[in-house]
Amino acid sequence: MDYSAKLDKSLFKKYLELEQPDDMVQCMYIWIDGSGETLRGKTRTVDFEPKSAKELPVWNYDGSSTGQAEGSNSDVYLRPVAMFRDPFRRGKNKLVICETFKYDGRVTETNHRNECKKVMDRASDHEPWFGLEQEYTLLGQDGHPFGWPKQGYPGPQGPYYCGIGADKVYGRDIVEAHYKACMFAGVKISGTNAEVMPAQWEFQVGPCVGVDMGDHLWAARYILQRVAEDYGIIVSFDPKPIEGDWNGAGCHCNYSTLLMRKEGGIKYIEEAIQKLAKRHQHHVRLYDPKGGKDNRRRLTGQHETSHIDDFSAGVANRGASVRIPRQVGEEGKGYMEDRRPASNCDPYLVTEAIVRTTVLDDWD
């Protein structure tokens, strides 16, 4: 499985450094496949350097090979919607996030960006900001967490969170390479840390406004998968990769509106939390790709989570569904943190649901 990781990367450099004609730019079109959680990508050459995704042509792919169409009518359209610099090919080459559409122009089942964008446009006066904390686990070729003993388990949790040292953290090269690659690409990555379970890490993206949050997070996930591929390591976004006394993986969603960020904004934060409380089940269904089933393994009420069936909120409480950071409580303004989304959530669905519930009062 790690054959490509074993290829001589210094040899590849020779080709990467070849001069590229001005009228040939490689565009990696990226989309979410039929699973709603894994990404696919394929490349085409364009004869100009695009300044935005809008300038790029609509394309298509074989949807019958991605769980998105029947073989007899298999073309799915790719519409470019967001663009980043390509940190792998460098130069003028691009990564292009695309929406997917069926032959008749309708969105595919896993194109949740389309609706998210409409909702964010309706809510634009509120200036919704998001910051996502993407947790993930590195796995070796055997599917076992990277760096864990082949038989058995590492010592119990405690020393690993934000840890340093060869006995505390596993796979830092990947984390650092990913951070650099995101910055080069133009992804708004805002930090990283080692997590509570060894071989588990986190990166944060944001604050991003509206639909940009989903675009930037999916781009960051794509880049992470590609970096890990170079190292022959597998990235798991499973919300509870290891059963037992090991932390799961989430994708906490930090959120604020213009009013929440202003003096006295805590009032609006509290109002929003009351609305979220009333729609707890609805949100839980949208916070993982299996309607809450994946998150049920993670949101047990232990390991810094609230139980999936209960809604709770509190200042500085990491065992609550929604946390108001201590500093926000003290300053009386700022943002809140929805701790429920699973690591494999679709950020378009999560951000859309939060905005619908808290500012648009869309109670369907």
For binding to ligand ADP (CB under 6 A), which residues are involved?
Answer: 129-131, 133, 190-191, 204, 206-207, 252, 254-256, 261, 334-335, 337
Convert residues 98-137 into a mask of x (bound to Mn ion by CB under 5 A) and - (unbound).
-----------------------------------x----
Residue 190 CB coordination number (10 Å): 15
Nearer to ligand ADP, 79 or 283 (CB): 283
Hunting for tokens 């896993």 — which residue is that?
A: 110
Nearer to ligand ADP, 34 or 206 (CB): 206
β-strands 39-46, 25-32: how paired? antiparallel
Residue nearest to ligand ADP (CB): 131
Q: Is residue 202 involved in binding Mn ion (CB under 5 A)?
A: yes
Strand partners of residue 185: none
- What are the CA-CA distances from residue 68 to residues 6, 38, 82, 116, 190 (Å)? 33, 13, 21, 20, 33
Nearer to Mn ion, 93 or 247 (CB): 247
Q: How far is the CB of 363 from Mn ion (least distance, A)?
A: 27
The token pair at 301 is 């009420």
Nearer to ligand ADP, 131 or 171 (CB): 131
Taking CB within 5 to 8 Å according to partner kind, which of Mn ion, ligand ADP, none is near residue 206? ligand ADP
Quick check: 341 and 348 in contact, CB under 8 A? no
CA dihedral 77, 80, 85, 91 (to 10 degrees): 70
**141/57 Cα distance (integer angstroms):** 38
Nearer to ligand ADP, 34 or 198 (CB): 198
Nearer to ligand ADP, 255 or 348 (CB): 255
Give the number of residues in contact with Mn ion, rule: CB under 5 A. Answer: 3
**210/187 Cα distance (integer angstroms):** 15
Taking CB within 5 to 8 Å according to partner kind, which of Mn ion, ligand ADP, none is near residue 207? ligand ADP
Q: Is residue 252 involved in binding Mn ion (CB under 5 A)?
A: yes
Q: Is residue 338 involved in binding Mn ion (CB under 5 A)?
A: no
Q: How far is the CB of 193 from ligand ADP (least distance, A)?
A: 7
Q: How far is the CB of 12 from ligand ADP (least distance, A)?
A: 33
**266/345 Cα distance (integer angstroms):** 27
Buried b (16+ CB within 10 A) or exposed e, 195-215: bbbbbbbbbbbbbbebbbbbb
